[in-house]
Amino acid sequence: MDDTTLTRALATLPDWLDSLDGWQSLDIDYHPPRVERLFRPFEDGRIALHRVHPCEPADALFHPHPWPCAIQVLRGTYEMALGAGPAEAAPPRSAWLRAEAPFRYAMAHPDGWHAVRIVGAPALTVMVTGHPWDRRGPRPTTALAPLAPPLAGRLLADVRDALTRPARAVR
């Protein structure tokens, strides 16, 4: 997964932001931070829109992803802990960073771990994923429900707004 795939996804995305047709959703609420997700197929993987809600630093789930991904933070202040390790148990956190939108990053190795904490208002992100790795990570303890239609529609509208009025980098 690389930056060029994310760039192609961002170029395609405006065509899909006028309707919920083709989108699926999840309310990821089994562990902080809560994430509202819309997703659909894109190339060999998926494109996902997220509203990530704030949480306390100690509560943010430290986890690997089951697939390579690239992420663009459209709005919000994003703090992230990073680490790497092949075990199912969390490795030590080796770095902590803080960034303001717009900000991009990729998780391109199956042993990469991160924890995301949003500061202030919820953040909006776009993520593209590739083929899943043979990698397990934390799993929900309960079944995840889809977003209520009004929440899904609001997420779509907020991403559309963020793409037409992008955040400015803080200097």
pLDDT digits (tens, 9 = 90+) for 19-75: 999 999 999 998 899 999 999 999 999 999 999 999 998 899 988 888 999 999 999
Residue 76 Ramachandran class (φ > 0 left, ψ -120 to 50 alpha, else beta): left
- Exposure string for 75-97, b = 16+ CB within 10 A, e = fewer: bbbbbbbbbeeeeeebbeeeeee
Domains, the chain, ranges and CATH?
3-15+22-130 (2.60.120.10)
Please say if the pLDDT value at position 169 is more than 60: no
